[in-house]
Structure 1
Amino acid sequence: MGMTAEEKKYKGIIWALAIIIPLAVAVLFRVNLRDLGYDVQPLSFLPPIYATINGLTAVCLVIAVAAIKRGNVKVHENLIKLCMVFSSLFLLMYVGYHMTSESTKFGGEGAIKYIYFFILITHIVLSVVIIPFVLFTFVRGIAGAYERHKKLARITYPMWLYVAVTGVIVYLMISPYYAH
């Protein structure tokens, strides 16, 4: 079975977002409004909030999968929509934090430093890779292409869950080094 009309309609938008979002984040990550002379307060209160949002995303993903396995399509759909809202909020807060605050350096030494950077790098790489997977999986679901949705969701779910969980782990590992 080929793409539905709805999937075809969103294909270009999804690929554009898959390119634009990581590029915009990479550029904005390097822009600090305070260094540019803007009188903005650092949004240093955001990291525990966006880490919590990552945790909520993980919990909602697990519950969403459990709901669909029980045949509760509407609960599954609503939870996935909530996960998408959470992921969008995370992204906005993450960029807002980095545009107003100094980056925090990880201060751990020895093996923990390598573990931290392994988790961080895999988290970052998968957070970029996951964008088209999430969007195509979502569109397939709302377009009613359930078999193709299910097939792609088997790949998307573990990646998205990994990104959400490792976001919390990265925060917990670096939080002792935030300036207070």
Structure 2
Amino acid sequence: MSTHHGTATSTDDRATREYTSVRVPRAIEALGCDTFRGFGWTIVSAEPARPIRLLPLMPAIRPNVATLRMSRESHSQHPLTLRSLQDKAEESLALIGRLERSKTFVPATVALVVFLIGCAQLAGSVFALGDDAQLLSAGLGAAGLAHWIGAGVAYLWVRRRRTESVAPKIARELDALEDRSRQARQLLR
């Protein structure tokens, strides 16, 4: 998660405003908006990142991040404390984003490994046909097909287990975010 900060002075009312932009994972974009509102930021815009096209004929790749552009009045009496709380909140948001991504990345990696083992066994089955080892070929083929089916089952099982293991960590970080937002609202009064 990247952050860009800036301050500017408006000429019509002589109020100093702070401006910032933050990139957050799209899966937690709403949580990011709510968190930053707790720190006194007004969301000016929330834009998804532009799609990336590696080659002209390839389909575009959509990044999984959104850019939040925000502003607020610089009237806090405790800017360092507020900044520290916001930095901790951004760390919590980043951790929540990583944990959410791990719910699918870890199972997909396990399923890919199981699938590739099945591919290797099927390739061995085909090569064993040339050596007049039909029994070996049939055994490798059956094991390869079982691994292909097992990849889907492994994905579902690991995803369920991973979701169960990260749920308490996500809940803990959400509680910490709420606490930091409450502290920031008290500082902004």
Return the TM-score normalized by structure 2: 0.36
Q: Which has the higher contact order (CA 8 A, sep 6+)?
A: 1
Which has the greater radius of gyration?
Answer: 2
User: TM-score scaled by structure 1?
Assistant: 0.38
Structure with the higher fraction of residues in helix conformation: 1
Hey, which of these two has a bigger chunk of strand by percent?
2
